């Protein structure tokens, strides 16, 4: 079930979406799932919802100099542009044919990045939120969103991934009314894409 995010209490959320998946392959590990999720260079291979990510800055590297390109791997403080495919829930929609101009851009920042440690049963946890400091961002009182992923081993020893997003603000009421069901479908597309990719890769 959805829980509070680092900056949004659950009881303040206007929009709530949640999904989860169990990776049914004994070769899959929490490290595999974690590394796939935080390495955005893998996303075009599996992610219909966000087929492209542009890293805008890293905490230790503020700009792409050409000679030293920005790392595609998330860390706490990474700022990025997420390019959403709003039609990802349509199976006829071929992401390989998408024009970048047809994607919806959301600028976000990584707020939490804690890798899993199976030895101590610590869940991997990563969260990103709308970047209120990014150019063109709306003020928080209008709309604000934060998303969390947790990766861990369940009681049966399988890798489990949980994913939820909370939204607040005046505009969130309109989003819930007009797009609530679609957002939940898109959340399910995301988690199924990740599950299928991890299961196929760990079998290879």
For the domain bounded by 10-63+70-203, which CATH number is listed? 3.30.530.20
- Please provide the average confidence, as pLDDT, over all residues in the chain: 91
Structure tokens at 105: 């851009």
Where does the pLDDT of residue 121 fall: very low under 50, low under 70, confident under 90, or very high at 90 and above? confident
Tell me the per-residue pLDDT of 140-194, one tens digit each, with 9 for 90 and over: 999 999 999 999 999 888 999 999 999 999 999 999 999 999 999 999 999 999 9
CA-wise closest residue to 124 among 72, 160, 80: 160
Which residues of the chain form beta strands (DSSP E)? 15-23, 52-57, 79-84, 104-114, 124-130, 144-153, 159-168
Sign for the CA dihedral angle at 170, 82, 80, 29 comes to positive
Query: Domain boundaries in the chain?
Result: 10-63+70-203
Structure tokens at 160: 């489990």
Report pLDDT for 44. 95
């Amino acid at each position: 079930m959805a829980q509070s995010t680092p900056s949004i209490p659950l009881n303040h959320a206007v929009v709530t979406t949640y999904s989860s998946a169990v990776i049914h392959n004994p070769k899959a590990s929490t490290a595999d799932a974690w590394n796939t999720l935080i390495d955005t260079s893998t996303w075009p291979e599996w992610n219909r919802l966000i087929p492209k990510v542009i890293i805008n800055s890293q905490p230790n590297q503020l700009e792409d100099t050409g000679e030293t390109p920005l790392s595609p791997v998330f860390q706490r403080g990474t700022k990025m542009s997420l390019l959403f495919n709003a039609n990802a829930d349509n199976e006829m929609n071929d992401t390989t044919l998408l024009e970048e101009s047809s994607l919806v851009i959301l600028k976000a920042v990584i707020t939490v990045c804690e890798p899993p440690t199976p030895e101590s049963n610590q869940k991997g946890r990563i969260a990103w939120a709308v970047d209120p400091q990014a150019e063109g961002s709306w003020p928080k009182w209008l709309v604000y969103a934060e998303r969390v992923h947790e990766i861990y081993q369940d009681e049966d020893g399988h890798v489990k991934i949980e994913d939820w997003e909370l939204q607040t603000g005046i505009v969130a009421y309109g989003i819930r009314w007009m797009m609530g069901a679609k957002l939940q479908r898109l959340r399910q597309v995301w988690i199924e894409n990740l599950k299928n990719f991890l299961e196929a890769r760990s079998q290879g």
